[in-house]
């Protein structure tokens, strides 16, 4: 066999050397493939889930924001339903949404304000829940910078500033100031706890809020990513298209992951 394979060789004495070279080359090629395969396994391509078109209000075209680069303009516009707000991305202190409305909600009796589009979708969501015999009690909508400051100071007085910072946004760092966030409650008189997740309303929201354009903003298990504790009562409007897209990926997908926000 050996002789036949190398019968073409004019110098048979060199054949073993050539086999060794061949084995060597094969070894290095295999090793290179193996390294590439291992690299690909540990560095999978991120899915392209960032909004790239459509939407109820505008046509966003967010690109993943590489570390250190500023966010695309529509994610920093506090008057956009796509705005991204977290502990590193504040809202200007004097910002007030341009289209606040005061729809009547069967909840606190207080005037609750939201931007027009989320308000309209919230009304539809409350009606849909009601058909399923679930009552959604709206506890909070738009909150001005000054009022958020009062809320934060109250909570800080109870918990200390560090702990308060995990369960309530500091003034100037709240989606509530953008008129797109809603807090629900079991009753209209007290702030909600994580037990809300186990109520009929909490379960209904978790399952259906995306159909009306709302997302669970601070999901369970994503505390390190969002910087906040699990808040099953805090939903934020982003429009039906992206809320549903996010829900399909995972009901617990954070906005940070969806927008590919680097810390
Ligand atoms: Zn909230």
H-run or E-run covering 22 = helix 15-42
Q: How confident is the model at residue 49 (pLDDT cuts 50, 70, 90)?
A: very low
CA 185 vs CA 92, 112, 145, 171, 210: distances in Å: 28, 14, 22, 21, 18
pLDDT of residue 64: 46
Average pLDDT over residues 140-158: 95
Poorest-pLDDT segment among 55-59, 175-179, 219-223: 55-59
CB 82 within 8 A of CB 74: yes
Least confident of 20-24, 215-219, 234-238: 20-24
Which pLDDT score, from 0 to 100, does residue 20 have?
66
pLDDT at 192: 77
Between CA 62 and CA 58 the distance in angstroms is 12
Q: Examine the pLDDT at 144 and tell me if it is beyond 70.
A: yes
Helix (H, G, I), strand (E, B) or coil at 149: helix
Q: Could you tell me the pLDDT band of residue 11, with boundaries at 50, 70 and 90? A: very low
Instruction: Write the class of the CATH domain 73-259.
Output: alpha beta
- 178/28: higher pLDDT: 178
Distance 202 CA to ligand 1 centre (A): 14
CA distances from 183 to 39, 51, 89, 175 (A): 43, 25, 21, 11
Q: How confident is the model at residue 31 (pLDDT cuts 50, 70, 90)?
A: low
Q: How far is the CA of 51 from the centre of ligand 1 (A)?
A: 23
* Residue with more model confidence, 48 or 153: 153
Task: Give the mean pLDDT of 125-139.
Answer: 94
Gap from CA of 45 to ligand 1 centroid (Å): 33
Contacts for 181 with CB less than 8 Å, ≥ 6 apart: 140, 141, 174, 175, 217, 234, 235, 236, 237
CA 181 to centroid of ligand 1, rounded, Å: 6
Give distance in angstroms: CA of 215 to centre of ligand 1: 12
Give me ligand 1 centre to Cα 232, in Å: 10
Q: Residue 56: which pLDDT band, with cuts at 50, 70 and 90?
A: very low
Bridge partners for 236 per DSSP: 181, 215
- Does residue 125 contact residue 243 with C-beta atoms inside 8 Å? no
Distance from residue 234's CA to the centre of ligand 1 (Å) = 4
Q: What distance in Å separates the CA atoms of residue 70 and residue 73, rounded to the nearest whole number?
A: 9
Average pLDDT over residues 207-231: 97
More confident residue, 26 or 173: 173
Neighbours of 165 (CB within 10 A): 19
Q: What is the pTM of this model?
A: 0.73
What is the distance in A from the centroid of ligand 1 to the CA of 116? 18
Ligand 1 centroid to residue 153 C-alpha, Å: 15
Task: Report CA(182)–ligand 1 centroid distance (Å).
Answer: 6
**How many Cα atoms sit within 13 Å of 66 on the Cβ side?**
0
């Amino acid at each position: 066999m050996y002789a036949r394979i190398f019968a073409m060789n004019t110098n048979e004495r060199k054949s073993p050397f050539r086999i060794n070279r061949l084995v060597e080359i094969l070894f290095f090629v295999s090793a290179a493939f193996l390294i590439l395969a291992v690299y690909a396994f540990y560095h999978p391509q991120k899915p392209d889930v960032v909004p790239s078109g459509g939407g109820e209000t505008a046509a966003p075209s967010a690109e993943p924001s590489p570390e250190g680069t500023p966010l695309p303009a529509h994610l920093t516009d506090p008057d956009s339903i796509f705005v991204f707000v977290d502990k590193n991305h504040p809202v200007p202190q004097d910002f007030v949404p341009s289209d606040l409305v005061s729809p009547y909600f069967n909840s606190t009796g207080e005037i609750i304000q939201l931007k027009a589009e989320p308000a309209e979708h919230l009304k539809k969501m409350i009606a849909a829940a009601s058909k399923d015999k679930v009552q959604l009690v709206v506890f909070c909508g738009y909150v001005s910078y000054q009022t958020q400051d009062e809320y934060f100071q109250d909570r800080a007085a109870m918990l200390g500033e560090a702990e308060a910072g995990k369960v309530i946004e500091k003034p100037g760092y709240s989606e509530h100031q953008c008129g797109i966030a809603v807090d629900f409650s079991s009753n209209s008189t007290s702030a909600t706890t994580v037990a809300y997740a186990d109520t009929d309303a909490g379960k209904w929201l978790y399952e259906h809020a995306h159909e009306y354009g709302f997302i669970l903003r601070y999901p369970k298990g994503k505390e390190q990513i969002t910087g906040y504790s699990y808040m099953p009562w805090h939903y934020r409007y982003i429009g039906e298209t992206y809320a549903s897209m996010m829900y399909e990926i995972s009901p617990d997908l954070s906005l940070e992951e969806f927008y590919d926000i680097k810390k």
